[in-house]
Amino acid sequence: MGRLSKVFDKAKAESLPEPEITKARSNEFVNLNFKVTPEMRRKLKQYAAKHDLSLKDVFEAALDFYIEHHP
């Protein structure tokens, strides 16, 4: 079980309210900065390049998939 799953499970157990998620218009973006291991960065970049996607596209798809499968 990954760390993110533990965070979601803890929030669910504590009955924390879910944040309201609104989709930004396509021209409205904000920076999101966090650190990953060199191996994770390499995996992300390789996957994105192989599928002709941006890192942002891969991150958004992964997050959407995770949220959909871990309500």
pLDDT of residue 45: 93
- CA geometry: angle 10, 40, 62, nearest 5 deg: 55
Q: Considering the entire predicted model, what is its pTM?
A: 0.58
Helices (H), 1-71: 3-13, 38-50, 55-69
CB 25 within 8 A of CB 17: no
pLDDT of residue 24: 57
pLDDT, residue 6, reads 58
Tokens 């970049």 locate to: 45
Rounded Cα–Cα distance for residues 14 and 67 (Å): 18
Per-residue pLDDT 10s for the chain (71 aa) are: 455 555 556 556 666 565 455 555 667 788 989 999 999 999 999 998 998 888 888 888 888 889 988 88
